[in-house]
Amino acid sequence: MASGRMTGRLLAAVLAVLAVSAAPAAWACSFEQAPAERAASCQRQLARSINFGNMLDHAREGMAGPMLRDEFIALAAQAGFTAIRLPVRWDARAGVQPPYRIDPAFFERVDGVLRQAAQHGLAVILDMHHYAQMMLEPQSERERFLAVWRQVAEHYRDAPATVLFELLNEPNRELGRERWNEALAALLPVVRESNPHRTLIVGGGDWNSAAALESLRVPAGERNLIATFHYYEPMAVTHQGAEWVPGAGAWVGTRWRGTPAERQRLRDDFDRVSRWAAREQRPVLLGEFGAYSRADDATRIAWTRAVREEAEARGFAWAYWELASSFGVLEPLSLQWRQPLLDALLPAR
């Protein structure tokens, strides 16, 4: 345990030096700031983020997408992305009996990604992803959920402010809105025990839907927090042909061109989030959006550009789903950008 703690402190020292030398000073995202100011400045650091999906968020790296290569991190920074959202399936690397110990080798794997990201001036969102058992049996799984987060939080307690914790990706199924609020109330003190100043990211239930933000309950005094939601509407556009979605084969060929009606639906959905954020005084991250590769290129590009534009118009940071898999903006073998899609995300580079 002592050696693991020393490793964590050494990692933190390296990350801190790299963050100071590489991070854009104008965005700050510093522990020196007051909580609400820190949340806002860290949200600006996330302004143009990219999800490294289907890499570390499954039971084994590479089983559902590419292995995470150092080149991916360098290329993301060079393209103009400001942060990585790193989905991690922590529960698959943790024991199933108390004390639910996370594999030290996996911690080292994630540590390496954080070092590379800091070297390239990228913030990182550590996102607890694909925790299926928590969705199916939230009451009986809660002890393990809290124990896993206690370890993650403790391991990264000395990381710079540009490492953010996203507490759970897309609560769903049995982990409905109320049960998620209950789990969140139990989790916040666990994370805050070792990370009192860390900026946290929290979304509502129903797969992090925009509508679920209305029922999200967090302490009014917890100001060092960014709210998140995901957006894949209309599903017939973004998930056409997706093998994991029942009936999605019938959607293949659905087009989206940004007609007035299509654009108005998008504006209405984002206006709802914007009104909630203004009322609650919370900065917002659009944590996932993207269109599956079975959609025609014109649809993918028009939809992606429109969502990005509407997010930016409301001051939302955003994280595109994802880098180099089935929604990807990068071809993982050739390391070539799908340029029109990249231009839809980063038009002025």
Could you report the per-residue pLDDT of 137-175, keeping only the tens digit for each?
A: 999 999 999 999 999 999 999 999 999 999 999 999 999
**What residues contact 73, with CB distance under 8 A and at least 6 apart?**
84, 113, 116, 117, 120, 122
Express each pLDDT in 318-343 by its tens digit: 999 999 999 999 999 999 999 999 99
The pLDDT value recorded for residue 28 is: 84
Q: What is the pLDDT of residue 10?
A: 55
Residue 269 CA to residue 252 CA, distance in Å, equals: 24
Assign 1 a pLDDT band (cuts: 50, 70, 90).
Answer: very low
Dihedral over Cα of 187, 190, 196, 200: its sign: negative
Crossing angle (nearest 10°) for helices 104-119 and 2-22: 10
How many CB atoms are closer than 10 A to CB 6?
A: 10
Q: What sign does the dihedral 142-146-151-156 (CA atoms) show?
A: positive
Do 195 and 160 meet the contact criterion of CB atoms below 8 Å apart?
no
Give the percent of the chain with pLDDT over 70: 92
Could you tell me the CA-to-CA distances from 280 to 21, 161, 226, 323 in Å, in that order? 34, 23, 11, 32
Answer whether residue 21 shows pLDDT above 80.
no
Note the pLDDT of residue 7.
54
pLDDT value at residue 161: 98
Look at residue 349 in the predicted model and tell me its pLDDT.
Answer: 60
Q: Check whether the bond before 99 is cis (ω within 30° of 0).
A: yes
Average pLDDT of 113-117?
98
Task: Judge if the upstream peptide bond of residue 141 is cis by omega within 30 degrees of 0.
Answer: no
* Exposure letters 146-155 (e unless 16+ CB within 10 A, then b): bbbbbbbbbb
Mean pLDDT, the chain, as a whole number?
94
Whether residue 228 is predicted with pLDDT greater than 80 in this model: the reply is yes
Q: What pLDDT score does 314 carry?
A: 98
**pLDDT at residue 344, rounded to an integer:** 98
Would you state the pLDDT for residue 20? Answer: 41
Predicted confidence (pLDDT) per residue in 36-93, tens digit: 999 999 999 999 999 999 999 999 999 999 999 999 999 999 999 999 999 999 999 9
pTM of the entire predicted model = 0.93
**Range 260-265, long-range pairs (CB < 8 A, 24+ positions):** 262/306, 263/306, 265/233, 265/234
